[in-house]
Amino acid sequence: MASIRKRGNKFQAQVRRAGFQGKSKSFERLTEAKAWARSQEIYFDRGEAGNQKPDDMPLASILSRYLLEITPTKKSASGESRRIKRLLKDEIARQTLRKLTPAKLAAFRDRRVKDGVRTAAYDLQVIRHALNIARAEWGVSIQSNPVEAIRLPRPPKPRERRLRPCEYELLLFHAESSRSHFLKPLIIIAVETGMRLGELLSLTWGDIDIDAGIAVLKDTKNGESRAVPLSLAALDTLKALPVAQTSLFGTNYHAVKSAWQRLRKRSGIHNLRIHDLRHEAISRFFEKGLTLPEVTMLSGHKTKAQALRYAHSDFTNIKRKLSE
């Protein structure tokens, strides 16, 4: 960290970071001292400060540089940025490379699993990749990656929560009176199209062709654009939205999450996540008789096997027909 002290008529800036030798310099002006201190902190974050002692370098130094240089190049940059900032506050980030043993990472894993299996797995994947990048591209001497010596948590089975009788109507009824005006149209479009929440929130009016009845998704999870046909219910909902705002729903993830939690409480509905609306939509596609290739095209799944798990209700109908 940086500190600035006034000594006589000058300002002395000092920058210290575990794993590096500290640096100090004096300046006539406070602004110059602050600018120099900040520049040195950036060098430390990037591992470019010299006199580096790899074994004594904390994991935080590698994660900080990874956050600056690698994370912004990823499609999931915002989510990963939040994850790394949380990691930097965790005690694991203060461990030096010498002390970052598989045993300590296993203890970290077991602690993080309490917040969710996927959370623990994603954290470890970020740490593993950051260490690999540091070794391969930044010249940090790491003999072996300790993350690769431990078991990664197994993700739970995919959820198969569908809307129960009257739940859809209940959600729409209470969303109608919600102060979050985006909520009702968001729910309808989600169930009618099967879009992911991130895809819905990224939609602008420029992505919608009302006459052709399609929405063009440019910012998808798998990185590929796709066109989504819009049902009559989806089109009617879109036509009722205000066109003054650039984005369709004029909101963000955190506002949607808070509004959804309030809506679920008012509706008396339990264990229903907003992502479950996508599961409901894709299941309905199969029930309407769409083929597997058609559903895959609509949902944006990369493989047919991924979409196939939503076809459970269709298999029930097939078994019923075979028994007739």
- Per-residue pLDDT tens digits for 148-178: 999 998 877 777 889 998 999 999 999 999 9
pTM beyond cutoff 0.75: no
3-state secondary structure of 25: strand
Q: Are residues 142 and 285 in the same domain?
A: no
The residue with tokens 């309905």 is 284
Q: What does the pLDDT average to over 43-63?
A: 70
Tokens found for residue 315 = 């298999």
> Which amino acid is residue 312, in one-letter code?
H
Range list of β-strands (E), the chain: 2-7, 10-15, 23-27, 208-209, 214-217, 226-229
Helix (H, G, I), strand (E, B) or coil at 267: helix
Q: Which of 52, 74, 91 is the last residue of a domain?
A: 52
User: 254: domain range?
Assistant: 167-323
Is the domain of 319 the same as that of 171? yes
pLDDT confidence tier of residue 86, bands split at 50, 70 and 90 = very high
Same domain, yes or no, for 186 and 271? Answer: yes
Say whether both 171 and 265 belong to one domain.
yes
Q: What is the pLDDT of residue 15?
A: 78
- Chain length of the chain: 324
The C-alpha atoms of residue 283 and residue 39 are separated, in whole angstroms, by: 54
How many domains, in total, are found in the chain? 3
Q: With respect to residue 158, please indicate whether it lies within any of the assigned structural domains.
A: no
Q: Which of 149, 181, 210 is the last residue of a domain?
A: 149
Within-domain flag for 154: no
The phi, psi pair for 269, rounded to 5°, reads -105, 130
Which among 73, 77, 72, 75 is positioned nearest to 218, based on CA atoms? 75
Residue 300 DSSP symbol: T
Q: Are residues 246 and 173 in the same domain?
A: yes
Q: Which two structure tokens, joined as six digits, stand for 5?
A: 């002290």
Q: Is residue 297 part of a domain?
A: yes
Average pLDDT over residues 100-117: 93
Same structural domain, 254 and 179 = yes
CA distances (Å), origin 320, targets 284, 311, 313, 314, 316: 18, 15, 11, 10, 6
Cβ distance 264 to 275 under 8 Å?
no
| DSSP per-residue letters across 123-188 | HHHHHHHHHHHHHHHS----SS-GGGGSPPPPPPPPP---PPTTHHHHHHHHHHT-S-TTHHHHHH
Task: Tokens 């940086």: give the residue.
Answer: 2
* Last residue of one domain, picked from the residues 149, 178, 197: 149
Query: What is the structure's pLDDT at 322?
Result: 43
Say if residue 51's pLDDT is above 80.
no
Quote the percentage of the chain above a pLDDT of 70.
84
Mean pLDDT of the 67-79 span:
86
As a whole number of angstroms, the distance between CA 40 and CA 21 comes to 12
* Same structural domain, 253 and 172: yes
Q: Residue 74 domain-assigned?
A: yes
159 lies in some domain: no
Are 83 and 182 found together in one domain? no
Do residue 141 and residue 125 come from a single domain?
A: yes
Residues annotated as catalytic are: 196, 221, 275, 278, 301, 310
Tokens for 120, please give them: 């623990």
Q: Which CATH number goes with the domain that contains 214?
A: 1.10.443.10
324 vs 321: CA distance, rounded Å: 5
